[in-house]
Amino acid sequence: MSAAVTAPTSPVFLSPQSPVFSPTAAAKTSPSSPRLLLTPELTCQARRHYRSVSDHETSLKRKRPPRLDVGAAVTTAAAWNAAEAVEETPRAEDIAVDEDGYSVYCKRGKRGPMEDRYFALVDPKGAHIQGLFGVLDGHGGAKAAEYAAMNLDRNIKEGLEQCYGEEGWMERGIRVGYLRTDEEFLKQGVRGGTCCVTALISNDEVAVSNAGDCRAVVSRHGAAEPLTSDHHPSVENELKRIEALGGYVDCCNGVWRIQGTLAVSRGIGDRYLKQWVTAEPETKTLHIKPELEFLILASDGLWDKVTNQEAVDMVRPWCVGLENPKTLSACKKLAELSAERGCLDDISIIIVHLQRFVP
């Protein structure tokens, strides 16, 4: 979702041993390189990765209200206050991260600046979180995805601490995190929104949540099992919810949209459509048994062109039965397959080797 293409820049990575962001290392980084932000409070056991690849950013009705103006994709970097002056920033082509237990690959689409983001937090000795991963697919600019990448994991962590000891505390804590991030972002007064999919690993369990059409698929002995549902306005329960709130869903050029505008019905942000677009996540929790091999989290740039089973079949030879799984290569192969099939959108993929998180 974006504009013209510039020359690709080389990704910059911290080594797996780096516990915190180094200002010295940052000073050596080219200004055109994508930013990798690590919070200083993390220990050597907790490595947190953020990647910011660019700051650019139907049913029949009797009487339909006019379409809402949610704004075009922002192509310049702006402060959170939309009224402030903006300055164009460099764009990145691809992002690649390869760590023990997971890999990330983000490929910019052909529509303009990258609007996808991701985050990853690994803490093998964490009290409530051994791993927390997220893929964010922004629309109407990258600001919502950027904000969620920087704040959703923190809010989920605080939500878990708040709900610990209650029945269903993981699901409740994740819900608090999503809704709090949405509330905080809306206060910024910035347009745009983001779909989200997250995976929380805690005490031999994995809780997968989503709001929007980013998807999570797990391999169970080689069989693809979707763990999330895509939140589109045409889905029956979403359609009923939107109409009950006074909205309408219309088909525009073959795509069903809320108020003739937005093609997803859940997500963070989208303040002009907030009456109908909820950040309420759906969560599914599984015990990590030996048959659960790996988890794929990805934006719709992958799933629009690659089926769940095709994705699992392509990843499995790179991951299962190998002492050193090549999950980054698997991520790249998936992105290449989607692009070869005509995907113009950004493609972001995280593959998590689940057995690496089981003692």
Q: What is the pLDDT of residues 244-289, one digit of tens each?
A: 999 999 998 889 999 999 999 999 999 999 999 999 999 999 999 9
Whether 107 contacts 52, CB under 8 Å? no
Structure tokens that stand for 41 in this block: 């409070």
**30 domain-assigned:** no
Which residues, listed in sequence order, are joined to residue 96 by a DSSP beta bridge?
Answer: 105
Q: What is the pLDDT of residues 175-215, one digit of tens each?
A: 999 999 999 999 999 999 999 999 999 999 999 999 999 99
Q: Which domain holds residue 351?
A: 40-357
Alpha carbons 215 and 299: distance in angstroms, whole number? 7
**53 domain-assigned:** yes
Say which residues have a Cβ less than 8 Å from residue 113's Cβ, sequence separation at least 6: 2, 3, 54, 56, 57, 73, 75, 91, 142
Structure tokens that stand for 223 in this block: 């069989």
Domains of the chain: total: 1
pLDDT value at position 67?
38
Phi and psi at 27, nearest 5°, equal -65, -25
Q: What is the pLDDT of residues 85-129, one digit of tens each?
A: 223 334 456 899 999 999 999 999 998 899 999 999 998 777 778
**14 domain-assigned:** no
Q: Mean pLDDT over all residues of the chain?
A: 79
Tell me, what CATH number does 93's domain have?
3.60.40.10
**35 domain-assigned:** no
Q: What is the pLDDT of residues 135-183, one digit of tens each?
A: 999 999 999 999 999 999 999 999 999 999 899 999 999 999 999 999 9
Report the pLDDT averaged over residues 336-350.
97
H or E element at residue 241: helix 236-244
Which residues, listed in sequence order, are joined to residue 198 by a DSSP beta bridge?
Answer: 134, 209
Give CA 115 to chain center in angstroms. Answer: 10
**314 domain-assigned:** yes
**24 domain-assigned:** no
**9 domain-assigned:** no
Structure tokens that stand for 188 in this block: 């910024």
Name the nearest CA neighbour of 350 among 148, 137, 120.
120
Whether 226 contacts 213, CB under 8 Å? no
**169 domain-assigned:** yes
Strands, DSSP E only, in the chain?
A: 35-37, 47-52, 94-99, 102-107, 116-122, 131-139, 193-202, 205-211, 215-220, 223-226, 249-252, 255-258, 268-269, 282-287, 292-298, 347-353
